[in-house]
A and B are shown apart, each in its own frame.
Chain A
Amino acid sequence: MQGFRAALAAAVGASAMLGAGVANADDKPIYGGEFTFVVPANAPPSFDAHRETTYAVIHPVRPFYSTLLRVNPENPGDPSDFVCDLCVGDVPEGTNDGKTYTFKLHEGVKFHDGAPLTSADIKASFDRIIFPPEGVSSARKSFYQMVDSIDTPDPATVVFNLKFASSAFIPALAAPYNFIYSKAKLDVDQHWYEKNILGSGPFIFKEYQPGAFMTGDKNPDYYLKGLPYLDKITAIFANKESVQVQALRGNRASAQFRGFPPKVRDDLVAALGDKVTVQETDWNCVLLATPNHDRPPFNDVRVRRALTLAVDRWGGSEYLSKIAIVKTVGGLVYPKHSLAATKDELEALDGYRPDLEASRAKARELLKEAGVDLSKTYIYNNRGVDQPYKVVGVWLIDQWRQIGLNFEQKVQPTGPFYATLRESRDFDVSADFNCQSIVNPPIDTSKYLSSDVNPANYSGIVDRKMDALYEAMLLEADPAKQRMKMREYEKYVLHDEVTQLITLWWYRTTVHRSHFKGWKVSPSHYLGQALDTVWLDPSVDK
């Protein structure tokens, strides 16, 4: 049995490293074929990506749209490698002290109804995202605080004028939600795109059966010549993991883009061998433990420090990564980004130090000093989803038990879970997560701002010093200085005040049929979904 496991691990490792289904330099793309993939979610609320936050919109709908910029599909693992999509040439550098960005557009781009796509459509789309008119919802409006105005000097040029230079601007612009809509349609009805699809992307929308599937055909007039390779795409909604696995095993679908837990990966590799390809990477999602600052004893920084000191993140990474979709130890920033803390920098923070026993001894002292009632059972509010919430929740409770704190896990479905966080606030510590699409640390870390500034911080903390540290980091244009300021903000959040606890960063494991080629895993399940550079190689299955 051990031999089998070792062989399996070797197979997974080799496959992951070599990426058998990933395009190699020798691979020549093949035209044609119908690509079917499963979307591990229920149907999207609407088709309007400006309004929605779920990947259930991105996975099936992104192939029908273009964006101004995107993550480089050839190098999606690099969180700062962006390329032009509708713009031409390289991603422009900022001029006017980094406050003006000028984009030249592809010529002859058409929407799928034949209407030309010009700078006016780009402006209309981004105006809708950044300055939404009355009655229009824009979920990520706050990401664009630096944008002052958008100009269109001619039909092939768009100029973004910023209030202040910001390293967060280009990544924010490359977000996969930024579909370019037709100005003509928006002028008639700002809500038209909620129920209709009309883009200029590599595929043309064909059919949607509510809650079941969506199909699209190749766009023969796609502006990136020679693309896409596929003739047809079909996205099938299947929110049950067993269905997704069986679909891959039975070859009813070639991919599921969100990711699987390690056990499923191992089962699929054991069953299908080299007919599937595993690709893995760090994920721009992190699981948090959020103390309730409104409720004693967690309004006491000594108790919050004890909480973080008790957690063995380095050990947990080793053990939990075998059973859950978490792995990497990190701070506030996505671990592979240049703004992230190094291991040495992390080990200087409480909760990350290598001497676990010393940390836990200190934690017990702090609890004693704070007069915490150790006979009491506290509530850990958790989301009723196995991966990674319940698995990590059980682990955390055990970690805190090591310092004498007893927690009871209160597991709830997503709706009541959020009602507890936002309304009743009946929890001592709660699970939470910070999951983003584009890796954009200056924006992503806004999650930890005071609760009255960012309602997504459920701790209830209000701390203006912390907000000022964030602001200083956000406004810093120099990368080296910004990195230092990010460390100061991180130290304040995770060490000085322990406003929230970072547990472990998620780890994305994708498994797809090896005949599906040209797709590379990225740090987010929202990225790499245009599907214009992927193809099918039927010879792999023979």
Chain B
Amino acid sequence: MHKYLVKRMLMMIPTLLGAAVLVFFLMQMIPGDICALRYAGSGGTFDASQIARCRVELGLDRPIFVQFFEWIGGFFIGDFGTSMWTDRSVAEEIGPRAVLSLQVAIMATIVSVCIAIPLGTISAIRQNTWIDYVVRGLSIAGIAMPSFWLGILIMLGLLWASNYFLGYGWIPPIQYVSPLEDPIGNVTQLIWPALATGYRYSAVATRMTRSALLEVLREDYIRTARAKGVIEKLVVNRHALKNSMLPVITVIGIEFAFLMGGLVVTEQVFNLNGLGKLFVDSVTNHDYTMTQALVMLVAFIFVMMNIAIDVMYAWLDPRIRYS
């Protein structure tokens, strides 16, 4: 297992390097210039020499390969660079946003698991009954409905309900507070985006739980367990559910990684200062170093999640041995 993990970690290097090459050169292909945006983007009169000086300061006047090797060299020594837009270190910019995104991802995952596993299980063991149809309907609706749209509906619903019941409009806070400073305020703000994204996320996991469980329930060992007189609850919980979790874990893991950087629109709807919003802002501002660092971070999270999923496989199914 240890050898396997080391091998997987080493394989991560070419994967990340490939991502680095792709993102660096793709970013260069986007027309536009961070310096022109900074000085000309507000519509006022500007001094052309400012733009030229800005390009020199940011090193954009150097050959593209020099820029690439300097950037990638920094990565190997743990220097992720400085944001071209704010001139702050990339780590300083990403840090607080990563905390927020991680918290939303964890909360959304909890929401998702709490919905998906019970509903998927009920739907499978009550296959083709009205419960199954309702669960399937809910999960199809979850897949079809973008989470940001659900977020907008939640916000409007909160406004309507608070006006109706309290007599004044109420929406969640739009200013982030740390859970260490104000846990209630923090949850009051983040529970809504977690619900909006968790529901969509749960829809995929519910369907996966249902289909995986249905498949396992048809296995010989389940029939054997039933023939031996094991009660149905134990058959499902102890024998079937655990063995059906492999594909579900994969879905949950991949979705978790996606949530860390992919909540672009939902973050905008709830004014969350997370990684998704930072990603959009940095692309809009042509902040190459920040965009590249974010892509590398998300790629790293995906790779790590995949390794974690593989480790979970071995734990869930002892027949799986990595060597």
Asked whether any CB of chain A lies closer than 8 Å to the CB of B87, the reply is: yes
Q: A46-B86, A236-B271 are contacts. A418–B47 as well, Cβ < 8 Å?
A: no
B210 an interface residue at 8 Å Cβ cutoff? no
Which residues of chain B in 36-78 are interfacial with respect to chain A, using CB atoms and an 8 Å cutoff? 36-48, 50-51, 53-54, 57
| CA–CA, A422 and B162, complex, Å | 50
A454 touches B45 (CB 8 A): yes
**Once the chains bind, are A418 and B33 in contact (CB under 8 Å)?**
yes
B322: interface (CB < 8 Å): no
| CB of B288 to closest CB in A, whole Å | 12
**Cα distance A238–B171 when bound, in Å?**
15
Contact of A415 among B57, B93, B159, B284 (CB under 8 A): B284
**B45→A447 contact, CB < 8 A:** yes
CA distance A42 to B285 in the complex (A): 10
Contact present for B45 and A443 (CB under 8 Å) = yes
B31/A424 in contact, CB under 8 A: yes
Q: Count of A-B contacts with CB under 8 A?
A: 173
Q: Please, which residues of chain B bring their CB within 8 A of the CB of A211?
A: 93, 97, 273, 277-278, 281
Cross-chain contact B176 with A212 (CB below 8 angstroms): yes
Question: A residues 396-418 with Cβ under 8 Å of B?
Answer: 413-418
Instruction: Please determine whether A250 and B176 come into contact, CB atoms closer than 8 angstroms.
Output: no
| Contact status A45-B38, CB under 8 Å | yes
Given A53-B46, A415-B33; A250-B41 close (CB under 8 Å)? no
* Minimum CB–CB distance for A128 against chain B, Å: 14
Interface 1/0 per residue, A408-439 and B, CB below 8 Å: 00000111111110111000000011111100
Inter-chain contacts of B33 with A (CB < 8 A): 415, 418-419, 422-423
The interface residues of chain A, by DSSP majority, are classed as: mixed
**A376 close to B (CB within 8 Å):** no
Chain B's nearest CB lies how many Å from the CB of A503?
14
Closest to B42 in A: A53
* Partner of A446 from B45, B88, B96 at Cβ < 8 Å: B45
Question: Any chain B CB within 8 A of the CB of A43?
Answer: yes
> In the complex, what distance in Å separates the CA atom of A140 from the CA atom of B169?
43
Asked if A53 contacts B39 (CB within 8 A), the reply is: yes
A419–B45 touching, CB < 8 Å? no
Number of interface residues of A (CB under 8 A): 68
B residues less than 8 Å from A416 (CB atoms) = 30-32
Query: Is A375 engaged at the interface, CB distance under 8 Å to the other chain?
Result: no
Tell me the bound Cα distance from A448 to B269 in angstroms. Answer: 39
The smallest C-beta distance from B263 to any residue of chain A, in angstroms, reads 14
CB nearest neighbor in B for A435: B43
The answer to whether A194 touches B87 (Cβ under 8 A) is yes
Q: Is the CB of A210 within 8 A of B86?
A: yes
Complex formed: what's the CA distance from A217 to B31 in Å?
42
Question: Once bound together, how far apart are the Cα atoms of A139 and B47, in whole Å?
Answer: 7
The answer for the CA separation of A41 and B31 in the assembled complex, in Å, is 22
In the assembled complex, which residues on chain A have CB atoms less than 8 Å from the CB atom of B47? 138-139, 141-142
- Is B37 a contact partner of A414 (Cβ separation < 8 A)? yes
1/0 per residue, CB under 8 A from A, across B168-180: the answer is: 1111011110000
Cα-based distance from A283 to B211 in the complex (angstroms): 60
List B contacts of A173 (CB < 8 A): none
Q: What is the bound-complex CA distance between A236 and B43, given in angstroms? A: 24
Q: How far is the CB of A479 from chain B (nearest CB, A)?
A: 22
Known A-B contacts A42-B281, A415-B31; A456 and B44 likewise in contact (beta carbons under 8 Å): yes
Interface residues of A in 451-485 (CB under 8 A from B): 454-456
Complex CA gap A242/B162 in Å reads: 18
Q: State the Cβ distance, B130 to closest chain A Cβ, in Å.
A: 38
A236-B271, A252-B174, A422-B36 known; A246-B87 Cβ under 8 A: no
Q: Assuming A46-B87, A137-B53, A209-B176, is B171 touching A414 (CB within 8 A)?
A: no
Q: Which single residue of chain B is at the shortest CB-CB distance from A48?
A: B87
Residue B125 is within 8 A (CB to CB) of chain A in the complex: no
CB neighbours (8 Å) of A414 from chain B are: 32, 37, 41, 284
Point out the residue from A138, A234, A240, A415 that lies within 8 Å of B32, measured CB to CB: A415
Which residues of B are at the interface with A, using a C-beta cutoff of 8 A? 30-33, 36-48, 50-51, 53-54, 57, 85-88, 92-93, 96-97, 152, 155, 158-159, 162, 168-171, 173-176, 268-271, 273, 277-278, 281, 284-286
Q: A209-B176, A210-B96 are in contact. List 6 more A-B contacts (CB 8 A).
A: A213-B176, A242-B155, A243-B271, A249-B171, A250-B162, A418-B33
15 A-B contact pairs sorted by A residue (CB < 8 Å): A42-B284, A54-B41, A140-B44, A141-B47, A209-B176, A211-B281, A236-B174, A239-B268, A242-B269, A243-B269, A272-B169, A414-B32, A415-B285, A418-B36, A456-B44
